[in-house]
Amino acid sequence: MIMIRVPDFGFPVRTLLWKNFLANSLVNCPECVARERKAVIEREAASESQEGVQKLLEQIEIPMKFDPVTKHYICKRCGLYATREQVGDIREKVNRRDPTKEDKHYDYLDWWQKSKKDKL
């Protein structure tokens, strides 16, 4: 059996199909991606060209290295060390938007239209 050593993953990969699966399952660092997106938006706002912003935002990839022993992902850029679930929680926290006045109005309207039994 031929063993291929892939420097990106840090552990032996047996087939090309497995290598492709690992490459597709890599996790991007949510903190670094959010920081890069913010920088791209600020740069493009200064130049006032909005057509290429979406393409630039989609191209941002900062993969994290997977440590198979501890089953944690490590970002070589910022040093984030987390499991897949923790990375998902951080991504949700970073992408969460603040509730607006319209959201509060919608929630109040929804509450008002409920029956009394549901309100209590």
The residue extents of the domains of the chain are 4-115
Largest CA distance in the chain: 69
Local structure of 28: helix, strand or coil = strand
102 Rama sector, left if φ>0, alpha if ψ -120 to 50, beta otherwise: alpha
From first to last of its 120 residues, the chain has per-residue pLDDT tens of 444 444 455 555 566 665 556 555 668 898 998 888 888 888 887 766 666 777 777 788 888 888 888 989 999 999 999 998 999 899 899 888 878 888 889 989 988 888 776 766
- pTM, two decimal places: 0.58
Spell out the residues 6+ positions from residue 8 whose beta carbon is closer than 8 angstroms to its own. 23, 65
